Amino acid sequence: MPRLVAFFLLLVPWVAAEPLAGMPLETLGKPHARHEAAFVAAGDKFYLLGGRRIQPVDIFDPATKTWREGAAPPVEVHHFQPVVWEGRIWLVGAMTGPYPHETALDHIPVYDPASDTWSRGPTLPPDRRRGGAGAVIRDGRLYVVCGIINGHWDGHVAWLDVLDLKTGQWSRLPDAPRARDHFQVAVVGDRLYAAGGRRSSGATRQVFDLVEPAVDIFDFKANRWSTLPAPGGNLPTPRAGCMALAVGPYVLIAGGESMAQRDAHSQVEALDTRTGTWSLFATFARGRHGSGLVLRGNILYVAAGSGQRGGSPELDTTETLTLPIPLP
């Protein structure tokens, strides 16, 4: 039996069994406490970038469990999903400025780990700029999903835009079935999954309230959207500021914030994309939102974020979640 097939046959009962538990990781040094940031792997290192205020990149070596400091970006940058293209980290769909009227950047900041330098990436179309969006690269194209135009105030959109990374040309694709911001997307096979998030509405004093339980799916081949049937296909714990990661046929939605509780969410829920059903995959030792997940071997890593709904306390901790069987 091929190793990949064997792994997923084992994973099916495991996901439905007792949830795994995250563990704090003892490290040499700590990252800067931050949230509305991103955590991503590039090469053999992990990078914690952005967040409120101008802060340096924090670089983690999983082999030595050591944090060190890199260069700070030229501008404050937050509320974005990072992607890695040709070894460089792109901060896509980013905002800058203070709450609640943050503004979307007019370009994509790019960090080069090899030289520890920042540069200005592609310009975003003036009438399609927003922050708090999901982003992913597939087959040489960058997809930017949904987001919000006016910080935490109003202007949430259902847009789907794509940048051809060879030609530099932007195109518009069909809008998602619903708008959402403060979320991340993941790709499994030929489909993009948008789960979690909310419609931030400071204008109506509903910044945290309008969480989105529905899961929208974009089929790259068919060029169309669909939505998982409710209620079984809905995200079990609706929340925003959550982190997304594809692991084989599963989409993990981790952490987040909502009006349901003051503490940040600790749930890591798994969508089986073959059946459209959810399971509680794991729980963090410390709930957090506004960061990212990194998978290396059979270990999931998370760092920083906020420990409660809103902006505090900002965390400087690192946590791991060990899968019971090695990934292929």
What pLDDT score was predicted for residue 13? Answer: 45
What pLDDT score was predicted for residue 18? Answer: 78
Classify burial at 26, counting beta carbons within 10 Å of its beta carbon; exposed 0-12, middle 13-18, buried 19 or more.
exposed
- Count CA within 13 A, CB hemisphere, residue 258: 21
Contact 290, 297 (CB under 8 A): no
pLDDT at 14 over 80: no
Q: What is the mean pLDDT of residues 136-141?
A: 98
CATH number for position 275:
2.120.10.80
Instruction: Name the domain count of the chain.
Output: 1
What pLDDT score was predicted for residue 325? Answer: 61
In 3D, which of 75, 214, 92 has the Cα closest to residue 165?
92
Q: What is the mean pLDDT of residues 264-283?
A: 96
In 3D, which of 297, 292, 279, 290 has the Cα closest to residue 319?
292
Q: What is the mean pLDDT of residues 165-191?
A: 98
What pLDDT score was predicted for residue 323? Answer: 79
Place of tokens 């769909």: 93
Strands of 81-85's sheet in order across: 81-85, 88-92, 107-112, 117-123
95 lies in some domain = yes
Contacts of residue 152, defined as CB under 8 A and 6 or more positions apart, other chains included, come to 99, 100, 101, 102, 200, 202, 207
Q: How far apart are CA 194 and CA 183, in angstroms?
A: 8
Single pTM value for the model: 0.94
Q: How far apart are CA 242 and CA 248, in angstroms?
A: 19
Rounded mean pLDDT of the chain?
A: 94
- Count CA within 13 A, CB hemisphere, residue 236: 17
Q: What is the mean pLDDT of residues 45-72?
A: 98
User: pLDDT per residue over 100-129, tens digit each?
Assistant: 999 999 999 999 999 999 999 999 999 999
pLDDT at 5 over 90: no
Q: How far apart are CA 25 and CA 270, in angstroms?
A: 23
pLDDT at 9 over 70: no
194 lies in some domain = yes
Place of tokens 């500021």: 241
104 lies in some domain = yes
What pLDDT score was predicted for residue 196? Answer: 98
328 lies in some domain = no
What pLDDT score was predicted for residue 145? Answer: 98
pLDDT at 4 over 50: no
Handedness of CA 62, 66, 69, 70 (dihedral sign): negative
Instruction: Annotate 283-298 with b (16+ C-beta within 10 A) or e (fewer).
Output: bbbbbbbbbbbbbeee
Domain with 230 in it: 3-322
pLDDT at 6 over 70: no
109 lies in some domain = yes
| Maximum alpha-carbon separation in the chain | 56
196 lies in some domain = yes
- Band (pLDDT 50/70/90 cuts) for residue 2 is very low
Cα 101 from chain centre: 22
Task: Give the DSSP letter of residue 202.
Answer: G
313 lies in some domain = yes
327 lies in some domain = no
Q: How far apart are CA 319 and CA 90, in angstroms?
A: 24
What pLDDT score was predicted for residue 327? Answer: 40
Cα–Cα distances in Å, from 257 out to 143, 210, 211, 243, 263? Answer: 25, 11, 9, 11, 8
pLDDT at 15 over 90: no
Task: Give the DSSP letter of residue 26.
Answer: -
